[in-house]
A and B are shown apart, each in its own frame.
Chain A
Amino acid sequence: MLEIKNLHARIVEDGTEIIRGLNLTVNAGEVAAIMGPNGSGKSTLSYILAGKEDYDVTEGDILYNGESILEMDPAERAAAGIFLAFQYPMEIPGVATMEFLKVAMNEQRKARGEEPLKVPELLKRVKAASATLQMDMGMLKRPLNVGFSGGEKKRAEILQMKLLEPKLCVMDETDSGLDIDALKVVADGVNSLRAPDRAIVVITHYQRLLEYIVPDAVHVLYKGQVIKSGDKSLALELEANGYAGVIGEAA
């Protein structure tokens, strides 16, 4: 589903190279964890997948279902089924959450040539999805993410993911700032989306999240490259021994 080939990318503003020859394959139906120390390029990779214009891809390619997405803008990528759950979801004053959900769902449908959802059907879906995430509908009347607690913001991200039904979900440090109860709710939300035709990429710093979202594959990112791949036991090894051992091995 996702194939990253020899990707090199740098920050547009100052030219710093962050991704340095990254190779990664994630198959449909798979949950892949990407782990790595601070500054290894994890968040940058998620932004590049979503199409943030602050980064320049200088070499290599990103194939999604066999086709390059590098020329697509973020909205086109989203309509094609790529979803990034942000580590720090933006607060957007003046845009009501419900209105935003309506626009996002219907713009994606429009881009795919589908009929827009009518308000009653939309409300039904939003209500059902919020209930599973233990979210209060009152929150959805407020401006998007404004004044939401850290946990509420993360739940709102998962809510959007459930409603938009993407094919490739990229979750950037979804566990950061969550207490254990919120973590379980969020993990349940993610697990409910596991499907044979969907891939989930979980970017995380700690093994903790992977107790709740059990990965099929674990990749270690260091200095902009995948230096080691393995199954879920690799995450446990990292938890026990830290990154130093793996990094030493690769060097």
Chain B
Amino acid sequence: MNMHAQPQSTPAETALIDAFGERLSHLPGDGEVALKRDQSVEALKRGLPTRRIETWHYTDLRRLLTAVPEFDATLAGKPAAPLIEGSPVLALLNGVAARPVAIEGVDVERISEKLGDGTYAPALGPQGADDAIGALNSAFVADGWLLNIADGTVLDKPIELQNVQAGGQVHARLAAKVGAGVTATIVERQTGSGDALVSCVDNVVVGDGSHVTWVIVQEQPESATHLGQFNAWIGKDAKLTLFFMNAGGRLVRQEIRVAAKGEGSDFQLRGVNLLSGDTHTDVTMVLDHEVPHTGSREIVRNVVTGKAKGVFQGRINVHQYAQKTDAKMACNTLLLSDDGEFSTKPELEIFADDVQCGHGATVTEIDHGHLFYLMARGVSEKSARGLLVKAFLAEVIEELEDEQLVEALEAKLDRWFATHG
């Protein structure tokens, strides 16, 4: 095991172990599910990952997670207005699924029921010794949504999944089994009002020939801890576009684990980190090209203000038989303050010999010449900076094909800049 035994538990570690004892009787599932929960809590008992664990080097969870709030069943989150008007909304309110809505071509299931009847057991448990988010979530997960999208379904509106916390702890799952030949956009909102500890694990299977766009918008308050994990498996000739926007949270880690499983599959990652205040945000991606003729592009753009710290780790594994892989990764940061930081760690591990892979990273400040030019036309300094920040990020957002989605995300960008820029 990589997670070293710690000489003494931190208050946060102790609180998590104690919470498990108290929560166990309230959590759905027994038999295999209970066994998986137990294995997960055993992993937690070995201690939260520190900087000595390579994948957590820039985010020492043991040090950064200073306190863990208690569960509070009396709190209830309120659903938010959907990003796009008319989207069907499936909400989790402080960790509990609200009433489901009917969506044509989609069979919606509650994760609590699948935990209760034991059918969700195979999806539980940490994936590897360094999977602290998987362990934490598997130990405590109480509810979530599973979308079964039938073959050939074409959704005309995005489905919006909301995980709205009101405080305490929330551990949820969002999952989708996407059949073949599907076209769908899923919006995942991570938001709330409390000083919560949130974990959310997504499992997405993209069937052959399907085109799925998954959009994560994380806007936790600056007092919350958000630990997300997005797992996906992409089938033959299928395309998955994952877009994320991090615009909140005190301590945030979003993991992305994607496997290109079918020939002709394609993965596109577009991400925007808007970092402000005294916060820490980590996006860690592991992408496996497992078969020949697959492609991927990752573009992450970061804007850093205040004393915020950001991390992007991007690892691309090209397996031995994955010839003709075409993978490119870029991470660009715009630093708006002297006290902000961003660390980028790209890694390529290539076992095939006929591939095209590359990566690049840049860190820049606002160009003074650009700023002067705009101001010389009467644009105030704040607006000029706003225009330049938006220009830096818009390129990534505007690649989304849904215009309403682009507008909604750019509106979020404007609001973020008005407050933090």
Contacts and interface: CB of A to CB of B under 8 A. Distances in A.
Interface of A: 50-53, 73-75, 77-79, 83-84, 86, 89-90, 92-95, 99-100, 103-104, 107-108, 111, 143, 160, 164
B398 to A, nearest CB: 9
Contacts of A52: 372
22 contacts: A51-B376, A73-B381, A74-B375, A75-B378, A77-B376, A78-B377, A78-B378, A90-B370, A92-B374, A92-B388, A92-B391, A94-B390, A94-B391, A94-B392, A94-B394, A95-B374, A100-B374, A103-B379, A104-B374, A104-B377, A107-B378, A107-B383
Contact of A75 (B379, B391, B395): B379
Contact of B379 (A84, A86, A104, A143): A104
B388 A79 contact: no
A73 B376 CA distance: 9
Contacts of A50: 372, 376
B6 interface: no
Given A75-B381, A90-B370, A104-B378, 13 more contacts: A50-B376, A74-B375, A75-B376, A78-B376, A79-B378, A86-B373, A92-B373, A94-B391, A95-B374, A104-B377, A107-B380, A107-B383, A111-B380
A102 B221 CA distance: 34
Contacts of B369: 90
Interface in B357-388: 368-370, 372-381, 383-384, 387-388
Nearest to B389: A94
B372 to A, nearest CB: 6
A90 B376 CA distance: 11
Contacts, number: 72
Contacts of B390: 94
Given A75-B384, A103-B383, A107-B383, A92 B378 contact: no
A94 B373 contact: no
Contacts of A160: 377
Contact of A164 (B368, B378, B394): B378
B380 A75 contact: yes
A143 B369 CA distance: 16
B44 to A, nearest CB: 44
A84 B376 contact: yes
A92 B370 contact: yes
Contacts of B375: 51, 73-75, 78
Among the interface residues A79, A92, A93, which one has the most CB atoms of the partner chain B within 10 A? A92
Nearest to A79: B378
Interface string B25-53: 00000000000000000000000000000
Contacts of B394: 94
Contacts of B379: 75, 103-104, 107
A158 B372 CA distance: 18
A164 B377 CA distance: 8
A95 B99 CA distance: 43
Nearest to A111: B378
